[in-house]
A and B are shown apart, each in its own frame.
Chain A
Amino acid sequence: MEIVTSEFFQRALIGGLLIGVTAPLMGIFLVLRRLSMIGDTLSHVSIAGVALGFLIGVYPIAVGLVFAIAASFGIEKLRKAYKTYAELSLAIMMSGGVALASLLFTLGKGFNMNVNSYLFGSIYTLSSGDLYLIGAVTLVVLIAIRSQVKELFLITFDEDAAAVSGLPVRFYNVMISVLTALVISVSIKIVGALLVSALLTIPAACSLIIARSFKQSVISVVIIGEIAVVAGLLVAGVWNLAPGGTIVLLLIVILLLLLVFKRGMKMGS
């Protein structure tokens, strides 16, 4: 149990708590706009950035961030080219990102690059610098959502009506993508690039089961995200399991419980 009081664990907990708010929040907008896969895409592209960061000796998360943002613009462009097949742009970007990452990883074989820590997360190695970056991203995301939640709701609910009421829809689309890119690139060290998208989408999936209103859905994703992160870190710390994987499996357990519970309610009534 002494792990819980250790400094690296507490840093992990703070980082996890912050990501547990921002990732599920961005996730709602993505899931409701049928862009669930954008998380996977951006995280795979940002691995390529991380790899490049190692190669050229620049802070890997920062390079990953630049890659993710560039990819989010690229997705918007491709989305226009394949209007009705938006998910195609995600598939193209995702495979492109993985291809580039694998190339860079082979180039960097001599550089003692720890691939695993970025693929599956290494929350215990969070530095204070990492925490500051996560804190800054959290602040940006919270301010953006807090001030624009009405507009984001309208665009998510009915993009045409949003455009007719004069909202700059493209601006908001880019804003959602860029915020998502920010969240993903700082989450990679916590849950790993392969698992980031779970933190975005599973809380939103849970909220679709229980929330009646949009407000409830916003509140419930944050609660579910936090429960999974805190409980996941504790369980992983005590039994010495992989933290990222534990958090994600816990999220899936919550989702299953909610589904069963809902079923029971329906049968009961």
Chain B
Amino acid sequence: MLQSKTITSETPNCHQEVISLDGVSFSYQQQPVITNVSFGVKERDFIGLIGTNGAGKTTLLRMIVGLLRPTQGQIRLFGEPVEKFKHWERIGYVPQKNSLNPLFPAVVREVVLSGLYGRNKLFKKVTKEDHQKCDDALHAMGIEDLSEKRIGLLSGGQQQRVFLARALINNPSLLILDEPTVGIDTETQESFFHMIKHMHQHHSMTFLMVSHDMDMIRSYLGQQPASESGKLKFYIRHSHETQDCVENNLAHSLKGLREQLESGKEVVRIGDRN
């Protein structure tokens, strides 16, 4: 009795389905874009979604975060159907950066803080605590000295760190990255990916990354895709392959994340070159 109790209190964290897709299809003007995709992402998995242009990567991602409705099938987030899902603060989202207008008047701090403004925070003022969270997120990404800089003036790599800090400010359980390295030079891409890998290994987060970069995904997630659907390929690295599901090895807060990154001596200062 006692034993089963300990098992149930520890293991579900490791095996909860964070994302599940069941027979998901999507058509745009009668043209099928995605047909019958099913897969499940468990807690602390790292899933890489690869496909050529037009394979439906972005469509799939937009369905997972509720921006598009599938024509068929069901998507669940943390066990709840996506249309009813309310805990959006559990999801950190890093968009493709190429939509950023360089003239937009906003400093890094404003952008990172905006990660807190979900539906649940309507009418709330920005508190001291919020600013503290922002500082932690900036610190975790090693960009605290940029907090008062205008976002459009930063390099691509620095901007990507800002968006990552914004996604991390809520301390999410799931981090979704949409082609995070598009438009960034190869060297910066590598160090960015390195940082993501390190975060996966040391933080209790689940990752979903869309990318066209086969090499980086394969080097971390294995040479063979776990499944394929049309032109989409799914690569998965399961949580048990990185570490045991021992909670106290993992950073749960942003402060912890920075410490982990530093202890690994793998903090690569992206974009410092310009």
- List residues of chain A with CB under 8 Å of any chain B CB: 32, 147, 150-151, 153-154, 157-158, 160-168, 207-208, 211-217
- Structural contact, A167 and B99, CB atoms closer than 8 A: no
Against A, the Cβ 8 Å flags (1 = close, 0 = not) of B213-251 are: 000000000000000000000000000000000000000
How far is B106's CA from A212's CA once the two chains are assembled, in angstroms? 6
- Of B16-24, B44-52, B83-91, B189-197, the one contacting chain A is B83-91
For the complex, what is the distance from the CA of A213 to the CA of B176, rounded to whole Å? 27
Q: List 21 A-B contacts (CB under 8 A).
A: A32-B101, A32-B104, A147-B123, A150-B114, A150-B117, A150-B126, A151-B117, A151-B122, A153-B110, A154-B117, A158-B99, A160-B93, A161-B93, A161-B115, A165-B115, A165-B119, A166-B120, A167-B117, A211-B105, A213-B109, A217-B105
Contacts of B148 in A (CB 8 A): 212-213
**B81: CB under 8 A from chain A?**
no
Residues in chain B within 8 A of chain A (CB atoms): 65-67, 86, 88-89, 91, 93, 95, 99, 101, 103-107, 109-111, 113-115, 117-123, 126, 148, 150, 166, 176
Residue from the list B66, B99, B101, B105 in contact with A163, Cβ < 8 A: B66
Inter-chain contact A216/B91, CB cutoff 8 Å: no
Q: Judging by beta carbons under 8 Å apart, are A165 and B88 in contact?
A: yes
Q: Contacts A32-B104, A147-B123, A213-B106; is A163 near B67 (CB within 8 Å)? A: yes
Q: Which one of A157, A164, A207 lies within 8 Å of B91 (CB-CB)?
A: A164
Verify B106–A214 contact, CB threshold 8 A.
Answer: yes
**A165-B107 in contact (CB<8A):** no
- Inter-chain contact B105/A213, CB cutoff 8 Å: yes
How far is the CB of B97 from the nearest CB of chain A, in Å? 10
- A208 contact from B105, B122, B123, B126, Cβ within 8 A: B105
Q: How far is the CA of A168 from the CA of B88 in the complex (A)?
A: 12
Q: CA A161 – CA B126 in complex, angstroms?
A: 19
| A160 (CB) vs chain B CBs: closest residue | B95
With known contacts A157-B111, A157-B114, A167–B105 Cβ distance under 8 A: no
Q: Which residue of B lies closest to A211 (CB)?
A: B105
Smallest CB separation, B84 vs chain A (Å): 12
Nearest-CB residue, chain B, relative to A167? B119
Closest to B64 in A: A164
The answer to whether A157 touches B104 (Cβ under 8 A) is yes
